[in-house]
A and B are shown apart, each in its own frame.
Chain A
Amino acid sequence: MRRKWRELPIAAGMLAPSAVVLGVFVVYPLVRAVQLGHLRCDATGKRCREGGWGQYIDVFRSNEFQHALANTARLALMTVPIGLALGVGLAVLADKQLRGIGFFRTVFASTVATSVAVASLVWFVLLQPEVGVLPDLLHGLIPSLKHPGLLRDPGTALPAVALSSIWASLGFTFIVITAALQGIPRELYESALVDGAGGWMRFTNVTLPMLGPTLLFTSVVLTTRAFQAYGEIALLTGGGPDPERPTQTVPYLIYGQNSLVKNDIGLKSSAAVLLFFVLLVLALVQFRGLDKRVHYAR
């Protein structure tokens, strides 16, 4: 009992640096944004009045937010399943004792070294019909793609952004899943082999269930990334092409250079708070829904 109070000053001192930074730059902004989100401002964004909680409902229902949310969800639906499948595929492919496998592992992991700006600019150039080779290649593969300016065509802009994101995340997904594969006890495979399970059976009955927790973690991370997509949008499409703006994600709606709400602190705050809630709900749903099917065996 006495120890508890004796150590309080030193504990407080040690916690203070973190507490101050987190307090000022995480907790305060959270609380303040929730308050500011109530504000309804005029066109200049200068004069604001209290709009109450209803403001959140209005913003959530607004065409701009719904449009951005739908775009963001589409981006996640493209990047998460494909990213996971590719990560598992590559990790399983490279999880063999072969000569030179270290080289291939390094190659598959390599995109982890690219930042969002580097990856996006590499793909930006690659996708330009005037200088990039990709439009010609894709046109050769799919002749129906008449207009190969993928980023400038409203139908293909978002898939093109997704392609760049999937590539950029591949290294991360590969590393995490490879590490998990190496943690699966070999005896499980051996006993499956004894039971006469073929390659595909071993994959579906041993590998996938044992990867459960890792796949859950990776899927939450990839979903969160998709819902935080900003840099790739800013560099690849600027939210465009206009007027459909199929790549306008929620973060780009809030922070983009040419965003409508740029100077409106009320709208900006409420959209940001709503984005936070969407992320929270998505993470919860994924943990809830997948947790039941996930096998924790450690």
Chain B
Amino acid sequence: MYSRSYKAAVTIPPVLWVTAFLLVPYALLLCYSFWSVTPAKEIVHSWNLKNYLDLFRNSMYPTVLFRSMRIAGAVTLLALVLGYPLAYYLSFHAGGRKELLYQLAIIPLWASYLVRGYAWKTILGTDGVLNGFLQYAHITRYPVEFFLYSPFAVVLTLTHIYTPFTFLPIYASLEHVPRNLIEASHDLGAPPAKTFLRVILPLSLPGVLAGATFAFVLSLGDFLAPLLVGGSSGIMISNIVVTLFGAAYDWPKGAAISLCILLIVVGILFITERVEKRFSFR
């Protein structure tokens, strides 16, 4: 149907792109993860498993990894708790204000990540807006320090950043729930709460799953929020990778950790895709 040259013209660029920017880097990463580095910071091309074994021997890595997963889990939960009701309200009850509210809900996406990070710094800091208010209202006498530079601050910032990512797919799936199914449920005697649990929620699960995946995977790999507001107790696994590739100059170990994270993420995507298939009906 299409000429050979046309086929080549549309196929070659993406193939080249994927090869140059995905396959080759991953292959390099894989190689690096089996190499080692001398105390003089020279990379030695001798194949060994030391980097991977170190990940288990040094308890710091699993600790930070599990903390990252806990933070990502908390962010996911909060983003769903915030995003679902918002999406529900917009889809079913916003009426004429739907468009406006939709735009307002996704506006944070247009603001720079760094701006939002620094905004939380200004709010949560010891001389920040929140502490200023608490002291002004005589609720606290001294600045509360754990607001900033803590896992709490990281969760708060990431939730703010990734809630639109959960809101969008949930909103899309709610918009696709046929309205006559809701009428049918009422017609068959199910009051609104029962209708929500038995019809609307199950039919919006694909969106919930997609949103949860976004929030979890994106927060798990995040390194800017912990850098800006996390402090030493809020360090996440990506910060370690950044340090290993940068200041510490241990590319092989950095590569090994990166591949572990990649494996976890691919595993999550694989599982959610399976579950999503199970819950999609169109």
Tell me whether A and B are bound partners: no
A binding-site residues for B, Cβ under 8 Å: none
B binding-site residues for A, Cβ under 8 Å: none
